Each structure stands twice: as structure tokens, then as C-alpha cells.
């Protein structure tokens, strides 16, 4: 998909220098990947404390059952 974007050349040059990326496309692609990863992390973090768990669950008991069934 072709796009025509007005980008700050100083920001692009700094990102290329810091990231060791040679092309503008490479910088934008890497920035988008990092942006998406960060947003996914924020989404996951927002789920902390929202999942109910059973305090009596014995994970060791079930771990042994799963290991023996392989």
C-alpha cells in the first residue's frame, strides 16, 4: 500500500541512527512493530487483577497428571 506522508526528517534521521536502520521504510516498519507491541502490553497489563482464581487449586497435582499422559 503506497502512502504519502509528511514526516519530520530530523526524527527519521535520529531513529535511523539510534536503531541502525538504513531506510525510512525500515524505520517506519520498526516503529509500527514497537507501537503495536507496546499497545498489546498495555492491554495485557490492564487485565492484571481481573482474573479470578481458586486459592485451593493444586497445580503440582495436575502437573504430574499431565507429565504422565505424554
Is residue 15 within 8 A of residue 21, CB to CB? The reply is yes
Instruction: Please choose, from the candidates 30, 35, 25, the residue with its C-alpha nearest in 3D space to the C-alpha of residue 1.
Output: 25
Provide the residue ranges of all domains of the chain, joining segments of one domain with +: 1-49
Reported as a single tens digit per residue, the pLDDT across 12-66 is 999 999 999 999 999 999 999 999 999 999 999 999 888 888 888 888 887 866 5
Taking the CA atoms of residue 39, residue 40, residue 45 and residue 49 in that order, the dihedral angle to the nearest 10 degrees is 130
pLDDT for 33: 97
Amino acid at each position: 500500500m503506497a502512502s504519502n506522508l509528511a514526516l519530520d526528517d530530523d526524527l527519521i534521521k535520529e531513529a535511523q541512527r539510534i536503531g541502525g536502520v538504513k531506510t525510512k521504510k525500515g524505520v517506519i516498519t520498526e516503529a509500527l512493530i514497537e507501537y503495536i507491541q507496546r499497545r498489546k502490553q498495555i492491554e495485557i497489563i490492564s487485565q492484571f487483577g481481573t482474573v479470578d482464581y481458586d486459592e485451593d487449586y493444586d497445580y503440582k497435582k495436575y502437573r504430574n497428571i499431565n507429565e504422565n499422559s505424554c
